[in-house]
Structure 1
Amino acid sequence: MDIRVKVLFVCSHNKWRSLTAEKIFSGYEGFEVRSAGTEDAARIKLTSGHVGWADVIFAMEKKHIRRINDKFRDLLLGKQLICLDIPDDYRFMDEELIEILKGRVAEYLDITE
């Protein structure tokens, strides 16, 4: 049976950081990857469905952790909620952002392309 870890990446607007993370990590073996944003104007707005689906949630900043905890606390039991501490200084698929994401995520997940 194919066991896959469900990974959710969260930033504010789901346009640059979390969308980049979804794009680069969706090609990795053993993972299902989605992304969403915490703001009302997000490309894909974070819902209880996203949080319920995920095994591991990577938030880009502490404010995203707070928002997830405030809104979805009841759904977080047994899930890993991790802050990657990546500021909103990067554009979609920025090479520096990709390197930072790979380095930080590798601290928590066994990622091999």
Structure 2
Amino acid sequence: MDWADVVFVMENKHRDLVKQRFASNSKQLVVLNIPDDYRFNDPELIEMLNAALGEWL
């Protein structure tokens, strides 16, 4: 977390956990609003992440 300029999370509950565990207001925290209902490497999830993160990559 120290080296990150922007932190991406999928849901608001993830944002809340990050804020609790890492007390740093200097980081930009972006909620992607993607439900955390997918398996690891799920093609649909990867597609959604690519679409949501396209402007950042």
TM more than 0.5 = yes
TM range (shorter): 0.7 to 0.9
Q: Which runs of 4+ in 1 moved over 6 A?
A: none
Q: Does 1:56 align with 2:6?
A: yes
Q: Percent same amino acid among aligned pairs?
A: 49
* Structure of greater relative contact order (alpha carbons < 8 Å, 6+ residues apart): 2
Scaled by the length of structure 1, what TM-score is found?
A: 0.45
Scaled by the length of structure 2, what TM-score is found?
A: 0.81
Instruction: List gaps (5 residues or longer) in structure 1.
Output: 1-50
Structure with greater Cα Rg: 1
2:34 aligned residue: 86
Instruction: List gaps (5 residues or longer) in structure 2.
Output: none
Q: Which has the higher strand share?
A: 1
1:98 aligned residue: 46
